[in-house]
Amino acid sequence: MAVETKFVVVRKGEEKMTFASKKEADAYDKMLDMAEAFTDWLVQSELPLEEAQLENLGLFLAEQKDAVQHILRTSKLPEAQPAVKTPKTAVAETDAGKAQDDAGKKVRAVKAA
């Protein structure tokens, strides 16, 4: 029997993601903190958007923090723009990563149930 160590990111009593390394779990937790801060800031802006839209926008900004920082510094888009990952795309990639893990690849992240 094999023993596996997994690191679970839990928010408000809900499991968000499971990772194979503490470093990846910490990075994801930090990104969620940033997304929450962006969402709170957007709520204060009184934009005419629904709460779910504000949360998705906050998560998107946090996921794209490097591009946001570049735009703020230079007022220009980054030179080589990788494909923009939306929260739904990230989950799809996570599921694909789980399938690769079954084929012997390293676990990157798996969606928690």
3 burial level (CB within 10 Å; 0-12, 13-18, 19+): exposed
Spell out, as residue ranges, where the chain has pLDDT lower than 50. 92, 94-108, 110, 113
Q: What is residue 27's predicted lDDT score, i.e. its pLDDT?
A: 94
Q: What is the pTM of this model?
A: 0.65
Q: What is residue 92's predicted lDDT score, i.e. its pLDDT?
A: 46
Q: What is residue 46's predicted lDDT score, i.e. its pLDDT?
A: 86
Strands (E), the chain: 7-11, 14-19, 110-111
Closest to 28 measured CA to CA, from 44, 8, 45: 8
Give CA–CA dist 64/86, Å, rounded.
9
